[in-house]
Structure 1
Amino acid sequence: MAAGLTERRQLILKLVVQEFVETAMPVASDALVRKYRLGVSSATVRNELAALEDLGYLTHLYTSAGRVPTDAGYRFFVENLMERTSLSLPEQRMIRHQFYQVRGELDQWVQLAGAVLARTAQNASLVTPPRSSDPLRFRHLELVAIHESMALAVLVFHGGIVKQQTLTLDADRSPDDLRRVAGRVSDLLTDLTLNGVEELLNTDAQQPQPSFGDFERLLADLVVRAMHAFEEQVQEQIYSDGLIEMLSQPEFIPALAREDAERAVQRMRHALEILKSGRGLGQLIPQALASDGVQVIIGGENSTNEMREYSIVLARYGVDRAVAGVLGIIGPTRMAYPRSISTVRYISSLMSDLLTELYSTEQRPPEEDNA
């Protein structure tokens, strides 16, 4: 038990979180006593609310207003007070049926996952397409002369990824010379990851007689830039849905006071920017890919300022040692955490099952024709 959190204070904290999530209104002691028949006076509950505020689990927006949870309050609720729930069986059957209607269509699975997450949790969703769980590795390089002073560099990576780049040649080079240089660079870099290529280049540059000539180093630097660009592109591939659901939350609905209206509009613009650009989300993806189970990041626990008014529920999905992606929910910190967590957990499990089935089918040897 956290210091100062008696059983009664834990109960009151749990009720405050539940009431605030449900109503989006500060919670007063009188309301708790009336609704939950706590068996103590309003004065006693007020004292407990004040103690919870002193401990950092609650705060109040105005002097005479009721209390609302802080990030620490939500965190304690999620880890210690929240009832672990699952989606109802009818919901699970309906969702599974939707996915099996687009059976085998991986792109549609990703889009459907985003739509189902948003609709079920009533907040915005994010999904990254599944990608190889292994780091990108270089395979080989080809150089094709297209002009006496230009060549086309074809960079081939494991997994069938191909990148092309035109090069301006610093000297006349015959096709045989281009093939020889490409073969040498390929031999030096084959099967290396981005870190491996960079480490090799840094070590070689410190040698009295470097293995890479000037033109070969230029080609190796081209490989490094291509691998960096690929990694950045992968991080930016975040599919989002549920903008309408998130903007329907009370946090985004203007109140009567002008300052509240301006604040709501500012929040809307901010939410649009996050979902459109993925800024503040990309760095959470590697963290989720490296973790098991459902990850919950609440408000100020986010490392970037633009995300500190939001909570994110993420989970990894995929096939072990093959491919993996991330899916989750983003919304205001006043989030229905039990519902959000159970939704993310179920969809990630379903996506993993579907991908496992897809990959096992693709890798299954064809049946022999006995006719």
Structure 2
Amino acid sequence: MAPNLTERRLFILKLVVQEFIETATPVASEMLVRKFGLGFSSATVRNDLAALEELGYLTHLHTSAGRVPTDAGYRFFVENLMDRTSLSLAEQRMIRHQFYQVRGELDQWIQLAGAVLARTAQNASLVTPPRAEQLRFKNLELISIHETMVLAVLVFHGGIIKQQTFGLDAARTPDDLRRCAGRMSDALADLTVSGVEELLAQDALRPLPTFGEFERAVIALVTHAMQAFEEQAREHIYSDGLLEMLSQPEFIPALARDDAERAVERLRRALDILKSGRGLGQLIPQALASEGVQVIIGGEHSEDEMREYSVVLARYGVGGAVTGVLGVIGPTRMAYPRSISTVRYISSLMSNLLAELYAGESRPPLEGNG
């Protein structure tokens, strides 16, 4: 911590960040003294604001004498000054009740998580569906639906099932298909997509005696299905709360023409981010590999289009089985304590529900864990 960050300056920095988050209005020294009844003069506060600006935690707009936080100021606030809050017990009960009303309906849980995150944090939300940490093959069924047409039912660990039809060069009896499915289930059991690919590569170098052309075609089908699923899982991001985010002052044009143009550009960019997931996709693997709540603020993003936004993310799921990511996105002037506590609680709740669904585990009650 910088030596000239005195206790008083830390206190003033905390007040500036909190006030700007609440009002979206640059914070002046006179207002701080008047509103909070500070026991020192406006001149003293002005000097401290100037020192905090020199340190890079605050800046000022050309149209105002007040200060606003920089990305570094928000980061310092989140890591050192922010009050660690939890959702109220009443909010926790209400949210938990909503989820248990759709108990066992995974798709509805995902949509509900997005809606609750957006409504509670008053910003846009994002949720990725839970998926196997590494998709692993479990077993295969081959069902004849026509003389030369077969339905392949692919079952993967984590309760994931894929179905696909494919044609045959020659008719096969149901017994032939059942025996082939058994051989393939034994050969591919517990393999990841890379394991299946390696098996195919080995067979290409030295053909395995139990594999004929039909078996190789089935393995190629399995490989393609696993690759397609993993690619889709990386790209699928469910979002909600566009109206909540667009109600923030950053997206409401001011009277000045340049402010209006900036607000419209922010609106266009926000729509593009939420619709395409551009700028968000690369954050998902980072969150999946991390513990706890991750906060990425403004200029910390590597993508230019994300530099005016903050994202709060957390992993949820059952370790070793299925995991996903959920969080909120909004302007850097985000209510960080509220957003972080909301993401933390919904992540814990979703993990608990998935543990019961996929692994039959029981966990302690969530109340008070916000």
What's the TM-score, normalizing by structure 1? 0.81
CA distance in 1, matches of 2:152, 2:90: 55
CA distance in 2, matches of 1:315, 1:21: 22
Establish whether residue 10 from structure 1 lines up as the match of residue 10 from structure 2. yes
What SS does the corresponding residue of 1:49 show, helix, strand or coil?
helix
Establish whether residue 34 from structure 1 lines up as the match of residue 34 from structure 2. yes
Q: 1:279 to 1:221 in 2, by over 3 A?
A: farther
Whichever residue aligns with residue 237 of structure 2, its letter is I
Provide the residue aligned with 1:338 in structure 2: 337
| Worse-matched range after superposition: 193-202 or 92-101 | 193-202
Given that 1:131 and 1:324 are in contact with CA atoms closer than 8 Å, whether structure 2 keeps it comes out as: yes
Provide the residue aligned with 1:367 in structure 2: none
Whichever residue aligns with residue 226 of structure 1, its letter is A
Q: 1:139 to 1:105 in 2, by over 3 A?
A: closer
The equivalences for 1:110-121 within 5 A come to 110-121=110-121
Q: 1:74 to 1:362 in 2, by over 3 A?
A: closer
Given that 2:139 and 2:185 are in contact with CA atoms closer than 8 Å, whether structure 1 keeps it comes out as: yes
CA distance in 2, matches of 1:146, 1:313: 51
CA offsets per residue over residues 233-278 of structure 1, 9 Å max, x none? 1123322211111000000001111121121112112111222222
CA offsets per residue over residues 279-303 of structure 1, 9 Å max, x none? 2222222222222221111112223
Provide the residue aligned with 1:86 in structure 2: 86
Whichever residue aligns with residue 269 of structure 2, its letter is H
Provide the residue aligned with 1:191 in structure 2: 190
Which blocks of at least 5 consecutive residues in structure 1 are unaligned?
364-371
Q: 1:53 to 1:222 in 2, by over 3 A?
A: farther
Whichever residue aligns with residue 247 of structure 2, its letter is S
CA distance in 2, matches of 1:280, 1:258: 28
What SS does the corresponding residue of 1:339 show, helix, strand or coil?
helix
CA distance in 1, matches of 2:212, 2:9: 71
Provide the residue aligned with 1:269 in structure 2: 268
State the Cα distance separating 1:305 from its structure 2 match. Answer: 2.0
Provide the residue aligned with 1:67 in structure 2: 67
CA offsets per residue over residues 22-60 of structure 1, 9 Å max, x none? 111111222222222333332322222222222221122
Establish whether residue 124 from structure 1 lines up as the match of residue 98 from structure 2. no
Whichever residue aligns with residue 328 of structure 1, its letter is G
State the Cα distance separating 1:308 from its structure 2 match. Answer: 1.8
Which blocks of at least 5 consecutive residues in structure 2 are unaligned?
363-370
State the Cα distance separating 1:134 from its structure 2 match. Answer: 4.0
Given that 1:138 and 1:193 are in contact with CA atoms closer than 8 Å, whether structure 2 keeps it comes out as: no
Whichever residue aligns with residue 40 of structure 2, its letter is V
What's the TM-score, normalizing by structure 2? 0.81
CA offsets per residue over residues 178-230 of structure 1, 9 Å max, x none? 9999998777655321233445566787x6x6779999888766544432221
CA distance in 1, matches of 2:219, 2:107: 33
Q: 1:31 to 1:349 in 2, by over 3 A?
A: same
Provide the residue aligned with 1:366 in structure 2: none
Provide the residue aligned with 1:228 in structure 2: 227
State the Cα distance separating 1:163 from its structure 2 match. Answer: 4.7
Establish whether residue 244 from structure 1 lines up as the match of residue 243 from structure 2. yes
CA distance in 2, matches of 1:261, 1:243: 19
What SS does the corresponding residue of 1:321 show, helix, strand or coil?
coil
Provide the residue aligned with 2:349 in structure 1: 350
What SS does the corresponding residue of 2:253 show, helix, strand or coil?
coil
State the Cα distance separating 1:151 from its structure 2 match. Answer: 8.6
State the Cα distance separating 1:341 from its structure 2 match. Answer: 0.9
Given that 1:146 and 1:152 are in contact with CA atoms closer than 8 Å, whether structure 2 keeps it comes out as: no
What SS does the corresponding residue of 2:65 show, helix, strand or coil?
coil
| Count, aligned residues | 358
What SS does the corresponding residue of 1:47 show, helix, strand or coil?
helix
CA distance in 2, matches of 1:106, 1:245: 24
The equivalences for 1:201-216 within 5 A come to none
What SS does the corresponding residue of 1:87 show, helix, strand or coil?
coil
Given that 2:114 and 2:127 are in contact with CA atoms closer than 8 Å, whether structure 1 keeps it comes out as: yes
Given that 2:317 and 2:323 are in contact with CA atoms closer than 8 Å, whether structure 1 keeps it comes out as: yes
Q: 1:66 to 1:217 in 2, by over 3 A?
A: farther
Q: 1:239 to 1:351 in 2, by over 3 A?
A: same
CA distance in 2, matches of 1:20, 1:68: 7
Q: 1:64 to 1:255 in 2, by over 3 A?
A: closer
